[in-house]
A and B are shown apart, each in its own frame.
Chain A
Amino acid sequence: MEYIIETHDITKKYNDFTAVNSINLKVPKNSVYGVLGPNGAGKTTLISMLCTILYPTSGTATVNGYDIVKNPKDVRKSIGVVFQSRSLDDILTGREHLEMHASLYGVPSEVRKERIEEVLDLIALGEKADQYVKTYSGGMKRRLEIGRGLIHHPEVLILDEPTLGLDPQTRESIWKYVNELNKKEDITVLMTTHYMEEADKLCDEVAIMNLGNIITADSPINLKRELKADTITIRVDKADKFIQEAEKLDFIKEIFRIDSEIKLMVERGENLVAEVVNFANNNKIFVNSIELEHPNLEDVFIKYTGTTIADGG
């Protein structure tokens, strides 16, 4: 596997307080990589070091093969950054922001116009593109910032809490956008979030971060699988009989009954749904419905930290 970002014991201390504690991350090329953690976990601090605006106290990292301490300029050329806090100028138009960015990053003037049109198309600002940014909604500002980060065709797009404070609809559209971008272009996306759902839907790999440490990192599916607790929810015509028989099956760890629903706690539920249905049929029990639920990342976070993400940090 080729990694486009690698950190080596990267650490940031503010006086005695360790905001990022000796982290080793490996971000595969062309993936969407998420850093998930509660407020104050150190996500922004980590990202700031990767985009060279904050020096690590110790350790280092490479981005696109360049060392963030020794070659900050090459790192900056390789990345597009969307900061957590807004970084737009109210008195410029959307298009002017894109033009400015293109020339700051040395996009050749022949392709500049085309790139800007391309990005404007993508972020769908419409007529607003030529109005002052102060007239934009929060979602439009965010889309502009993301679009701006793409103008120079970076290898890595870094998004710090891209959907914070946006309504669900805008959030979904940004997810869709990031997803398509990652599929269409040769681009790696590194993003931070404290929304479980966002990490789950968007990311190929997720690192869970808490109190400056990476607790674990894997694909969302594997992280959840580690919990070994899928839930199969089944409705049958003879519930009592089903429970009685099902207790003999050793792949079922626990059985709960909630009204007419029976919940079976299992590992790797996707392989077992068919088996459960067959088992019911063999026992002449009719299955009305069956449903498989994986645990969500929230459960993963709880397992590792003992708190929910909202209370964490």
Chain B
Amino acid sequence: MAELEGIYTIWLRETKRYIRYRSRILTSVVTPLLWLLIFGTGLGSVIRFGGIPGGYKAFIYPGIIGQTILFTAVFSGVSVIIDRQYGFLKEILVAPITRPSIVFGKALGISTGSLIQGVILLFLSFVVGVQMTPLIFVASIGLIILISIGLAGLGLLIASFTDSMEGFNLIMSFIVLPMFLLSGALFPVIGLPSVLQAAVYLDPLTYGVDALRQVILGHGALPLYLSTIVVALFAVATILASAYLFSKREQELM
């Protein structure tokens, strides 16, 4: 009981933080729109993209949702570093709740923030000419939650190893950007050179994007059940790993 309340409390704080930084919500909606409208329209006009109504813009729409969740969730997870620098993490760590509860609460809070953004983007589907039905909407929300929990877990995992925001650019260049570019958000993942193909399938985000594309456009490289299972396993793995690391490394987190 006490642990549940602890998880709820951490979730609440994380969500409040997300909602109160309005500029963050704004940029997190504007950035994907820029991708869709400028990149999608621009590249879409020079390449022929048959088979999908709405063309290239529609094709990258699920990918851009994935990208938005990726950036929000990983960086919110990494924001534990900021909590540590501002000392607030101490207040949480000295409370009588277990470290895994802290990780769960954080991940759920981050997932809530990602979900808000995802929902806004789902409502904007008309921009790229994609038909939204209640079923697609609900299924997408389920996937967004799963994907964001996994990525939040990844962010928390990184945070438990990183001492300062100096590592931020490294994380950006070596983890977040490659994950985005390899995920098939911007190109089909079938028929690639074999090295690239292998890298694409090593990227957990590939499965998230593919599942979203399958649900939203009815178009995917993998069966939906398979990609969903991979996304779910990734979430379980990162959350368990960061819960374990937070318990193990609590001293270093101070």
Partners in one complex: yes
Q: Are the CB atoms of A48 and B96 closer together than 8 Å?
A: no
Q: Are the CB atoms of B13 and A100 closer together than 8 Å?
A: yes
Chain B, Cβ-Cβ closest to A96:
B16
In the complex, whether A83 has a CB less than 8 A from a CB of chain B is yes
Q: Are the CB atoms of B254 and A103 closer together than 8 Å?
A: no
A104 touching B87 in the complex, CB below 8 Å, given contacts A55-B251, A77-B96, A91-B16: no
A103 touching B6 in the complex, CB below 8 Å, given contacts A86-B86, A89-B13, A91-B21: yes
CB distance from B89 to the nearest CB of A (A): 8
Q: Are the CB atoms of B94 and A52 closer together than 8 Å?
A: yes
In the complex, whether A122 has a CB less than 8 A from a CB of chain B is no
Which of A83, A86, A87, A92 is packed against the most chain B CB atoms within 10 Å? A87
In the complex, whether A264 has a CB less than 8 A from a CB of chain B is no
CB distance from B223 to the nearest CB of A (A): 43
Chain A residues, Cβ within 8 Å of B221: none
In the complex, whether B166 has a CB less than 8 A from a CB of chain A is no
Count of chain A residues with a beta carbon within 8 Å of a chain B beta carbon: 28
In the complex, whether A199 has a CB less than 8 A from a CB of chain B is no
A91 touching B96 in the complex, CB below 8 Å, given contacts A85-B87, A104-B6: no
CB distance from B252 to the nearest CB of A (A): 11
Q: What sequence of 0s and 1s flags, for each residue 1-36 of chain B, a beta carbon within 8 Å of any chain A beta carbon?
A: 010011011001100110011000000000000000
Looking at the complex, which one of A52, A92, A104 makes contact with B92 (CB distance below 8 Å)?
A104
A88 CA to B91 CA, complexed, in Å = 8
Q: Are the CB atoms of A92 and B6 closer together than 8 Å?
A: no
A81 CA to B92 CA, complexed, in Å = 11
CB distance from A151 to the nearest CB of B (A): 11
Chain A residues, Cβ within 8 Å of B5: 103-104, 106
Chain B, Cβ-Cβ closest to A104:
B95
In the complex, whether A76 has a CB less than 8 A from a CB of chain B is yes
Q: Are the CB atoms of B17 and A76 closer together than 8 Å?
A: no
Chain B, Cβ-Cβ closest to A75:
B96
Looking at the complex, which one of A89, A104, A148 makes contact with B17 (CB distance below 8 Å)?
A89
A55 CA to B87 CA, complexed, in Å = 19
Chain B, Cβ-Cβ closest to A83:
B90
Chain B residues, Cβ within 8 Å of A74: 96
In the complex, whether A241 has a CB less than 8 A from a CB of chain B is no
CB distance from B14 to the nearest CB of A (A): 11
Q: Are the CB atoms of A48 and B254 closer together than 8 Å?
A: yes
CB distance from B99 to the nearest CB of A (A): 11
Q: Are the CB atoms of A103 and B8 closer together than 8 Å?
A: yes
A77 CA to B6 CA, complexed, in Å = 13
A177 CA to B93 CA, complexed, in Å = 26
Chain A residues, Cβ within 8 Å of B21: 91
Q: Are the CB atoms of B251 and A104 closer together than 8 Å?
A: no
A103 touching B9 in the complex, CB below 8 Å, given contacts A76-B96, A77-B96, A91-B17: yes
Chain B, Cβ-Cβ closest to A97:
B91
Q: Are the CB atoms of A92 and B13 closer together than 8 Å?
A: yes
A54 touching B251 in the complex, CB below 8 Å, given contacts A86-B87, A104-B9: yes
Q: Are the CB atoms of A105 and B95 closer together than 8 Å?
A: yes
Chain A, Cβ-Cβ closest to B105:
A104
Q: What sequence of 0s and 1s flags, for each residue 233-274 of chain A, a beta carbon within 8 Å of any chain B beta carbon?
A: 000000000000000000000000000000000000000000
Chain A residues, Cβ within 8 Å of B12: 100
Chain B residues, Cβ within 8 Å of A48: 254
Q: Are the CB atoms of B86 and A90 closer together than 8 Å?
A: yes
Q: What sequence of 0s and 1s flags, for each residue 82-106 of chain B, a beta carbon within 8 Å of any chain A beta carbon?
A: 0100111111111111100000000
Interface residues in B89-133 by Cβ distance below 8 A to A read 89-98
Chain A, Cβ-Cβ closest to B101:
A104
Chain B residues, Cβ within 8 Å of A106: 2, 5, 96
Chain A residues, Cβ within 8 Å of B9: 100, 103-104
Chain B residues, Cβ within 8 Å of A54: 251, 254
In the complex, whether A73 has a CB less than 8 A from a CB of chain B is yes
Q: Are the CB atoms of A83 and B87 closer together than 8 Å?
A: yes
Q: Are the CB atoms of B20 and A101 closer together than 8 Å?
A: no
Contacts A/B (CB < 8 Å), 12 sampled? A52-B94, A53-B94, A85-B87, A86-B87, A87-B88, A88-B86, A88-B91, A89-B17, A91-B20, A100-B9, A103-B9, A148-B91
| Residues of chain B whose beta carbon lies under 8 Å from any beta carbon of chain A | 2, 5-6, 8-9, 12-13, 16-17, 20-21, 83, 86-98, 250-251, 254
Beyond A53-B254, A101-B95, 19 extra complex contacts between A and B, CB < 8 Å: A48-B254, A53-B251, A73-B98, A81-B94, A83-B90, A86-B86, A86-B87, A87-B87, A87-B88, A87-B90, A87-B91, A88-B88, A88-B91, A89-B86, A100-B13, A103-B5, A104-B92, A104-B97, A148-B91
